[in-house]
Amino acid sequence: MAQKVLIPLDGNEVAPRFDLAAEVWLGLLADDGRVSEERTLVLPQASAEGLCRLAITEKVEVLICGAIEDEYYQYLNWKKVRVLDSVIGSRRDALQALAEGRLDSGAILVERAGTLLGAT
């Protein structure tokens, strides 16, 4: 069964900040990963309230985003929108992980660059 997904975007990536995203992707994601009715909206201005309103009016079921304030997170949850926040990665990877049932809040879907300092 397809679910309606909204992803605030920064280029091709999930936007690091929900409240600062001026572009969103909307679409239906089928269980097999196929996408339909997809569209990208450019918002007149970045606004967390505006995005919440959009999610409600569009009857979004899943929101994939980066950082989101608790106020909006709780509101969307209350409105029965499943919020997967702190996701790092491209829109495509996020959708694929969601379809495969392995996307959770805090998922990191980017390749880490080699680094110099190790954790101790």
Partner 1 sequence: MTIDQPARITGLFRGAVEAVALLDEIPLGLALLDSELRVIALNRGAEALLGITRRQARGIPCRHVLRNNLCLHNCPARRLTPEAQPLCLEGNIINRERQKIPVRVSFAAVLDLDGQPVGYLEALEDLRLLQQLGAGKARSYSFATIIGHCAEMQRIFQILPGIAQTDSSVLITGETGTGKDVLAEAIHQASARAKGPFVKVNCGALPETLLESELFGHRKGAFTGAVEHKPGRFRLAHNGSLFLTEVGDLPLTLQVKLLSFLDDKVIYPLGGSSGVQVDVRVIAATHRNLEQMARDGRFREDLLFRLNVVRLHLPPLRERGEDLRLLLDHFLRTLTTEFQRPIKGFSEAAMNRLLAYPYPGNVRELRNLVEYAVNICHEDTIEVQHLPVFLTTTPTNPAPAATSTESASNTAPAAELNHAAAPATAPARNWPEAERRLILDALTRAGGRRDRAAQLLGWGRSTLWRKMKHHEIDG
115 counts as binding partner 1 under rule CB under 8 A: yes
Q: Are strands 62-64 and 3-10 parallel, antiparallel or unpaired?
A: parallel
Q: Kindly indicate which of the ranges 1-9, 10-18, 36-44, 54-62 contains the residues binding partner 1, using the contact rule CB under 8 A.
A: 10-18
Q: Kindly indicate which of the ranges 26-34, 35-43, 56-64, 104-112 contains the residues binding partner 1, using the contact rule CB under 8 A.
A: 104-112
What string of H, E and C letters represents the secondary structure of the chain?
CCEEEEEEEECCEECCEHHHCCEEEEEEECCCCCEEEEEEEECCCCCHHHHHHHHHHCCCCEEECCECCHHHHHHHHHCCCEEECCCECEHHHHHHHHHCCCCCCCCECCCCCCCCCCCC
Stretch 45-74 residues interacting with partner 1 (CB under 8 A) = 66-70, 73
43 counts as binding partner 1 under rule CB under 8 A: no
Taking the least distance from each CB to partner 1, the nearer of 57 and 120 is 120
93 counts as binding partner 1 under rule CB under 8 A: no
Residues that bind partner 1 (CB under 8 A): 10, 16-17, 19-20, 66-70, 73, 85-86, 88, 106, 108, 110-120
